[in-house]
C-alpha cells in the first residue's frame, strides 16, 4: 500500500530531524530525486512540515525578540510556499503515474487531490510523534499523561482511517473510477500585483 511507504518515510524524516532537533540544521535527502522521485518528495515534504512545526513552537515564545519574531515569520511564510510547491510536485507525480488511465463514464472527482491527503498524513505523523512525547513525559501530572494518551489513541485511529482513504483514492484513480484535477494554489498575498500592500510599495 502506498500509505505504508509514506508513513515509513515520514517517520524516518521526523526521527532524523530530532537527532539534532534544530531548525537550523542542514537538510539532506536520502532518496535520489530521479530514481526515487516519490520517496524523495515524501521525505522533503515531511522535513518541511517538521521544521515548520518547530518554527511555530518558537514564535509562540511570549518573550521572543520582536525582530527575531519578524525574521521567523518570514521563514514561516517561505516554508508555507515550499510546502505548497512540494504538494503540487507530488500531485504532478500522480498525474504522470495515471496519465494513461481512461476514466469511466461514471467516474467522479474527489474532494481533494491525493497529494493534499498526503499533506494531512505528514502533519498527522508529527502530531503522533509529539503527542507520544507528551504521553511519556516523566515530569508531567498523571492527568496530563492520561489526557495525552487518550488523544494519542484518537490520532493513531485517524492515521489508519486517512491512510485507508488515500490508498482507496489511488486505487480508484488507477481503475478509472475517480479522476484527478489539480488546481494550482493561487495565493494572492505573495503576489506584487494582487497584494495591495506590496503593490503600493512599487
Residue span of the structural domain in which 129 resides: 2-199
User: What string of DSSP letters covers 37-80?
Assistant: HHHHHHHHHHHHHHHHHHHHHHHT-TT--HHHHHHHHHHHHHHH
Confidence band (pLDDT; 50, 70, 90) for 182?
confident
- How many domains are there within the chain? 1
- Which of 153, 101, 105 has its CA nearest to residue 128? 153
Which residues pair with residue 179 across a beta bridge? 109
pTM: 0.90
Q: What is the pLDDT of residues 14-40, one digit of tens each?
A: 999 999 999 999 999 999 999 999 999
What is the overall mean pLDDT for the chain?
A: 93
pLDDT surpassing 70 at residue 198: no
Amino acid at each position: 500500500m502506498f500509505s505504508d511507504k509514506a508513513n515509513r518515510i515520514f517517520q524516518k524524516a521526523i526521527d532524523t530531524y530530532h537527532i539534532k532537533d534544530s531548525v537550523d540544521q542542514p537538510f539532506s535527502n536520502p532518496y535520489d530525486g530521479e530514481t526515487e522521485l516519490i520517496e524523495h518528495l515524501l521525505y522533503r515534504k515531511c522535513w518541511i512540515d517538521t521544521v515548520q512545526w518547530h518554527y511555530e513552537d518558537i514564535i509562540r515564545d511570549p518573550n521572543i525578540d520582536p525582530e527575531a519574531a519578524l525574521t521567523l515569520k518570514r521563514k514561516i511564510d517561505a516554508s508555507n510556499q515550499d510546502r505548497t510547491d512540494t504538494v503540487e510536485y507530488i500531485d504532478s507525480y500522480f498525474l504522470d503515474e495515471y496519465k494513461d488511465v481512461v476514466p469511466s463514464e461514471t467516474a467522479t472527482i474527489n474532494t481533494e487531490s491525493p497529494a493534499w491527503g498526503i499533506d494531512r498524513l505528514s502533519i498527522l505523523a508529527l502530531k503522533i510523534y509529539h503527542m507520544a512525547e507528551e504521553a511519556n513525559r516523566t515530569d508531567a501530572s498523571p492527568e496530563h499523561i492520561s489526557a495525552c494518551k487518550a488523544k494519542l489513541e484518537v490520532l493513531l485511529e485517524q492515521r489508519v482511517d486517512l491512510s485507508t482513504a488515500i490508498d482507496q483514492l489511488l486505487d480508484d484513480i488507477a481503475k478509472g473510477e475517480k479522476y484527478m484535477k489539480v488546481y494550482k494554489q493561487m495565493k494572492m498575498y505573495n503576489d506584487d500585483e494582487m497584494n495591495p500592500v506590496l503593490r503600493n510599495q512599487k
